Structure 1
Amino acid sequence: MQIFRLVTATVLFFSILFFSACASAPSGGNDAAGLFAQGEKALEDENYLTALEKFRAVKHRYPYSSRAVEAELRIADTLFAQEAFVESEAAYEIFREMHPAHPKIDYVQYRIALSFFYQIPDNSARDLTAAYRAVDEFDVLISKYPKSGFVEEAKKRMRDARTKLAEHEEYVANFYFARQHYLSSSYRYASLLKNYLGLGYDEKALYRLGVCYYHTRMFSNSREALQRLLREFPESGFKGEAVALIKRLDNKETP
């Protein structure tokens, strides 16, 4: 009987010891909380491959854990930190589709836009699809989550993206203008004024639009563009040329 009690007590002791050890150090284990904590530490240390490994382990091994959804978001964050912006955008977008009511959904929307923003090339002559997408996604954030703490920064970033698009539009317009393709360049300068007003390109665009219309014999449109230039930019560097061209229009002169 005493031996039985001794064995029972020993088993009980080690059982208590085992479960106490498990409870006291969850962050270092392989349960959901432990793996997530390891992922957070790796992300903090910029050890991105390990961070991705840990967060993905949480997601796949413990899909019903409260940490699983957060691990999905941290996977996207890790890709973003890696500057893998194509992949981070896709990860954030999947998260948005799967968890539209998540409390951090405005943050997710901001990061989608920012992932596109950081894909915008420096050279305005290159494809600017990412800039268009960035503008669209920033606009979603601003309109859908107007009280978000990310709105003000989104407005600044969206202006930067729109400026890049305006720069591209002017580049193409100037390309046609330099080759005297006045009809094609007029479309671009008109687009610049319609879509990117107030970004620093208006003055030159108005003058050159007036020139393009003059050479394509759209005289009333030419006069309108030049008069608008003089009205909105009375100290314009193009003032002399604009006044001279208006006189030509008055006299119906040809170049």
Structure 2
Amino acid sequence: MRSDPLHCCHPRYRLLAISASALYLLATSALSSGCATSKKSTRAVSYSQTAASNYRKGQAELKDENFAEARKYFSFVKNRFPFSRYSTLAELRLADSLFAEEKFTAAIDAYKLFVKFHPTHPQVLDGYAEFRVAEGYVKQIPGDWFLIPPGHEKDQSATRQALAELVRFSRRHRRSKHAKEAAKLQRKVLRRLIDHELYVARFYLDRDKPKATILRLEGILRRYPNAGADPEVMMLLGKTYLKLNRREKAQATFASLVKKYPKDANAAKAKLYLRYLAGR
């Protein structure tokens, strides 16, 4: 008796089965909550006879932001046509639908699975899937809302995770068409982390803990060099040294600020402090 090829023990088939199962779980989980978050109510769909036709229907639903319906089509393609090229594309579109619906945690998991099981796919090699992972983490960073503390005053665990993913992407995909946008996001995330550190530094300074302030500020200069915040950090650092009567350190910090960033607004303030220190 001939064995069913779909139950072959070849590693390739096992990988496909695992990949399909994992994506199916993600998709069905999203479908179960899709009614509450999709712009339109979920409804029955009409499946076609070919992978290509069902894939196109899923694309159309995704374009119209009918996320639950789109996932039905993409899941159908994956389960009914596992060896079609549209099966792999449907897997990626499942992740895209989750991302578009702002289900970022599920989307991140889906993109990571896609990268794991399809490392040679063009949209893995060009960085698309991994960029979406990094972007998903950025989207989960707490924002600023009226009447609650600004985002930089909150816990920054999500921000650090986003930065780690963006750094990882930039190292792996320097020539990707997404590299420019990733660099832009990385600067934004870095600024959020620096703002948080400055907030904590000022918090300590306001509570008369200048030594703790100095540790925070020196940490910013050490961990985030050339991130665009050095003049602001150096100005506050110099003033804090003065508060501790560490005149030589203050003078060296102000002088370095003027030398490195002569056109920055903080350089003009630093010159005033240098004149003050020279006259004493």
Q: Same fold (TM over 0.5)?
A: yes
- Is 1:50 the counterpart of 2:69? The answer is yes
Partner in structure 1 of residue 133 of structure 2: 112
Q: Is the 8 A contact 2:131 2:182 kept in 1?
A: yes
Partner in structure 2 of residue 70 of structure 1: 89
**Counterpart-to-counterpart distance in 2, 1:66 and 1:233:** 55
Change (3 A) 1:173 1:160: same
**Counterpart-to-counterpart distance in 2, 1:209 and 1:221:** 9
**Counterpart-to-counterpart distance in 2, 1:55 and 1:227:** 62
Partner in structure 1 of residue 14 of structure 2: none
> 1:157 is matched by which residue type in structure 2?
L
> 2:271 is matched by which residue type in structure 1?
K
Partner in structure 1 of residue 154 of structure 2: 126
Q: CA deviation at 1:215?
A: 4.2
Partner in structure 1 of residue 204 of structure 2: 176
Partner in structure 2 of residue 157 of structure 1: 185
> 1:154 is matched by which residue type in structure 2?
A
Q: CA deviation at 1:110?
A: 0.9
Q: CA deviation at 1:218?
A: 5.1
**Counterpart-to-counterpart distance in 1, 2:109 and 2:279:** 57
Q: Is the 8 A contact 2:198 2:217 kept in 1?
A: yes
| C-alpha RMSD of matched pairs (Å) | 2.3
> 1:115 is matched by which residue type in structure 2?
G
> 2:134 is matched by which residue type in structure 1?
A
Change (3 A) 1:114 1:39: same
Partner in structure 2 of residue 237 of structure 1: 269
* Matched residue SS, 1:46: coil
Partner in structure 2 of residue 4 of structure 1: none
Q: CA deviation at 1:108?
A: 0.4
Q: Is the 8 A contact 2:255 2:270 kept in 1?
A: no
Q: CA deviation at 1:80?
A: 0.9
TM-score with structure 1 length normalisation?
0.77
- String of CA shifts for 1:84-109, please: whole Å, max 9, x gaps: 11221111111111211211111001
* Matched residue SS, 1:124: helix
> 2:232 is matched by which residue type in structure 1?
K
Q: CA deviation at 1:247?
A: 5.6
Partner in structure 1 of residue 27 of structure 2: none
* Matched residue SS, 2:153: coil
Q: CA deviation at 1:176?
A: 1.0
Partner in structure 2 of residue 94 of structure 1: 113
Change (3 A) 1:172 1:30: farther
- String of CA shifts for 1:113-132, please: whole Å, max 9, x gaps: 11111112221111222322
Identity %: 32
Partner in structure 2 of residue 193 of structure 1: 221
- Higher RCO structure (Cα 8 Å, ≥6 apart): 2
**Counterpart-to-counterpart distance in 1, 2:60 and 2:278:** 69
Change (3 A) 1:244 1:144: same
**Counterpart-to-counterpart distance in 2, 1:110 and 1:246:** 52
Q: Is the 8 A contact 1:203 1:229 kept in 2?
A: yes
**Counterpart-to-counterpart distance in 2, 1:58 and 1:34:** 9
Query: Which structure 2 residues correspond to residues 240-255 of structure 1 after superposition, within 5 A?
Result: 240-245=272-277
Change (3 A) 1:216 1:65: same
- Unaligned regions of 5+ residues in structure 2, if any? 1-45, 144-150
- Unaligned regions of 5+ residues in structure 1, if any? 1-26, 249-255
**Counterpart-to-counterpart distance in 1, 2:153 and 2:49:** 50
Change (3 A) 1:240 1:88: same
**Counterpart-to-counterpart distance in 2, 1:59 and 1:247:** 77
